[in-house]
Amino acid sequence: MIDHDILIIGAGLAGLRAALAAKENGVDVAVVSKVHPVRSHSNAAQGGINAALTDRGDDWRDHAYDTIKGSDFLGDQDAIEIMCKEAGTEVISMENMGAIFNRDEDGKLGTRNFGGQRQARTFFVADFTGQALLHVLYEQILKAGTRIYEEWFVLSLIVKSGKCCGAVMMDIKTGKIEVVRAKAVILATGGLGRVFEPSTNALICTGDGMSLAYRAGASLMDMEMVQYHPTTIKGSGVLLSEAARGEGAYLLNSENDRFMLKYAPEFKELASRDVVSRCEQTEIDEGRGIDGCVLLDLRHLGEKFISERLSQIRELAMDFANVDMVKEPVPVMPGMHYQMGGVKADINGETGLPGLYAAGEVACVSVHGGNRLGANSLLDTLVFGKRSGMHASDMVKAIQHTNIGDSEAKNDIENINKLLSNDIGESFGQVRMDMGKGMKTHLGVYRDQSSMEKALTLVENIKNRTGEVYVSDKTKTFNTNLLFSIELGFMAECAEAIAFSAIERKESRGAHTRTDMPNRDDANWLKHILFTKKDATHEISYKDVVITDWTPVERKY
């Protein structure tokens, strides 16, 4: 059995930031990740990170309001205040650690415009900000000498006497299973994009942490709030950053019109993402699309500008859409991208299950409410990663380990043996594809009662199939076949939470748009939906949105 004060699951931005904070606070930290830290999906974030710096004449309260409005008023305003207040410190801190942010003519940090914000406050590194920041944190972790369990897979969380006190994990290289005791566990496992098909997300984004937390007894919140990003490439689902629009790109329909001018006269292409995706979907559904897409036009920006600021997405468009954006507009469509919901966590990352924390995309604080603004996710990971690391490290100094033993791994070992002994049948790939396509169809940009009922049926069907998939690889070394089958179980549970939460919300808000209930209903639904395990099933409960200074109003862009 292995002991650590804090076990952080996930080595993306949130996980590494938490690790740094905890280590600086003098406790024994270990990070476990099913891939090498630099392979984490944080590296796919492209556009930038928001912060209101006072020396630019910006005010965190403006940033807070833009975020609250962007969330369609489902965001908890106390948490949003904290995120926006601490943003400047985090950005400067990353720069001091070595991040190569873009500069203005005076050599100070430069900004670009981004969706849903009235002022340019997005700091960026060309169009690969996520990768640049992730590598900086990885470098700092190397410097600090933090222990990383690289390519280890977490199978379950250990809960004893109502407290989370460790995890059961497998060394992917050898198949060896270990019980790890920890005084605190921080989930930083990212999102669940693979529940949908297509998605901008990497293959590793399988909702592991959300499912692990759910099975351990923590609540999932706002799971119906799934963001469709307006500019993804058809087929592959690969992301083309909002930075393109931030730097001035247009969205055109088949009639060569900048259709956003009519839907969002003030913010135009930079309205919040749910609004833009809906507008695109409307244009496509009403026959003004081209092959299921609209066009992202950057030609007027010129080759030099694109090479300096947007070179990565130019490569992506050439590789995956066969289009050089310097010469032609790129066909794009709304694609599943981000989960605003997640494991319910407070401003310090505490989930309500003692000993269990969550930060980053896996968590729902909620700072993004019904819709996340672009460039707020990188901010979320750093602010709440740090806060979770600090709070957890303070907390563990005062407590002891729980008395548990290697027998904690028994259930997981049995489950694995069961999977390995399944009859020849469906592969995990088939089940996931059915789930992904079905979830996209029934829980797309637009939903209604009938589509959501179909989603529930789909989820039931998927759940029955996940336990029976055939695992052809029976070896212990790097058995990816087995791991995918385990991930399938995580995804099915997430899909279930999404489907049940969606049908529960009887209004449209943020990314959850019901054609049969198109209006927002603040009187009845200004609250979060919680999905919690109860015996063999689940229960739905609610939590009021925290309002501080900003009264919810109708959202107009």
Partner 1 sequence: MEVKLKIRRYDPESTDMVAHYQEFALQMDDAATVLDGLIQIREQVDGTLSLRCSCRAAICGSCAMKINGEAGLACNTKIIDVMPINGSPITIEPAGNMPVIKDLIVDFQSFWTKIKAVEPWLQPESKQPVAEYIAPEEDMIHLAGVVSCILCGACVSDCTVMEVDENFLGPAALAKAYRFTRDPRDASDDKRLSVLNEYGGVWDCTRCMKCVEVCPKGVDPMSRIMMLRERVMENGHNNTNGARHANAFFDSVKHSGWLDELKLPIKSFGIFNIKAMLGLIPLGIRAQLAGKRPPIFHKSIPGAKNVRKIFEKVENK
- The CA distance from 157 to 176, in Å, is 17
Closest CA to 406 of 147, 169, 153, 214: 169
420 binds partner 1, rule: CB under 8 A = no
104 binds partner 1, rule: CB under 8 A = yes
477 binds partner 1, rule: CB under 8 A = yes
CA 358-362-368 angle, to 5 degrees, is 100
390 binds partner 1, rule: CB under 8 A = no
**Footprint on residues 270-299 left by partner 1 (CB under 8 A):** none
128 binds partner 1, rule: CB under 8 A = yes
Q: How far is the CB of 151 from partner 1 (least distance, A)?
A: 9
60 binds partner 1, rule: CB under 8 A = no
CB 351, CB 213: distance < 8 Å: yes
**Contact with partner 1 (CB under 8 A): which of 154, 182, 471, 497?**
471
Q: How far is the CB of 470 from partner 1 (least distance, A)?
A: 8
472 binds partner 1, rule: CB under 8 A = yes
**Footprint on residues 78-97 left by partner 1 (CB under 8 A):** 92, 95-97
Q: How far is CA 94 from CA 38, 349, 371, 387, 413, in A?
A: 16, 21, 26, 15, 41
CB 399, CB 34: distance < 8 Å: no
Q: How many CB atoms lie within 10 A of CB 542?
A: 12
**Nearer to partner 1 by C-beta: 308 or 521?**
308
Q: Which part of the chain contacts partner 1 (CB under 8 A), choosing from 18-26, 232-240, 253-261, 539-547?
A: 232-240
Q: Active-site residue 245, yes or no?
A: no
**Nearer to partner 1 by C-beta: 91 or 347?**
91
**Contact with partner 1 (CB under 8 A): which of 2, 120, 177, 202?**
202
**Nearer to partner 1 by C-beta: 430 or 449?**
430
Q: Which part of the chain contacts partner 1 (CB under 8 A), choosing from 202-210, 217-225, 261-269, 349-357?
A: 202-210
List 199's β-bridge partners, or say none. Answer: 336
Q: How far is the CB of 467 from partner 1 (least distance, A)?
A: 17
* Site pattern 391..410 for partner 1 (x: CB under 8 A): --------------------
**Footprint on residues 163-192 left by partner 1 (CB under 8 A):** 173
What is the DSSP code string of 243-258?
Answer: HHHHTT-EEE-TTS--
* Site pattern 310..339 for partner 1 (x: CB under 8 A): --x--xx--xx-x-----------------
CB 435, CB 462: distance < 8 Å: yes
Closest CA to 150 of 174, 127, 171: 171
Q: How far is the CB of 45 from partner 1 (least distance, A)?
A: 9
CA 131-247-199 angle, to 5 degrees, is 50
What is the DSSP code string of 528-547?
Answer: EEEEEEETTEEEEEEEEPP-
Q: How far is the CB of 78 from partner 1 (least distance, A)?
A: 27
**Nearer to partner 1 by C-beta: 56 or 543?**
56
**Nearer to partner 1 by C-beta: 226 or 419?**
419
Instruction: Please give the DSSP secondary-structure letter assigned to residue 286.
Output: I
103 binds partner 1, rule: CB under 8 A = yes
**Footprint on residues 27-56 left by partner 1 (CB under 8 A):** 35-36, 38-41, 43-44, 53, 55
Q: How many residues bind partner 1 (CB under 8 A)?
A: 66
**Footprint on residues 342-381 left by partner 1 (CB under 8 A):** none
**Footprint on residues 538-557 left by partner 1 (CB under 8 A):** none
List 106's β-bridge partners, or say none. Answer: none
- Strand, coil or helix: what is 446? strand
Q: Which of 17, 181, 194, 273 is catalytic?
A: 273
258 binds partner 1, rule: CB under 8 A = no
**b/e burial code for range 153-181 (CB count within 10 A of at least 16 → b):** bbbbbbbeeebbbbbbbbbbeeeebebbb
Q: Where does residue 54 rank: exposed (0-12), middle (13-18), buried (19+ CB within 10 A)? A: exposed
Helix-strand-coil split of the chain, %, nearest 5: 40, 20, 40
Q: How far is the CB of 71 from partner 1 (least distance, A)?
A: 27
End-to-end alpha carbon distance in the chain:
55
303 binds partner 1, rule: CB under 8 A = no
Q: How many CB atoms lie within 10 A of CB 446?
A: 18
Tokens of 77: 């305003």
- The CA distance from 331 to 234, in Å, is 7
204 binds partner 1, rule: CB under 8 A = yes
Q: Which positions touch partner 1 (CB under 8 A)? A: 35-36, 38-41, 43-44, 53, 55, 92, 95-98, 100-110, 125-126, 128, 131-132, 135, 139-140, 142-143, 173, 202-204, 235-236, 238-239, 308, 312, 315-316, 319-320, 322, 427-430, 470-473, 475-481
* Active-site residue set: 273
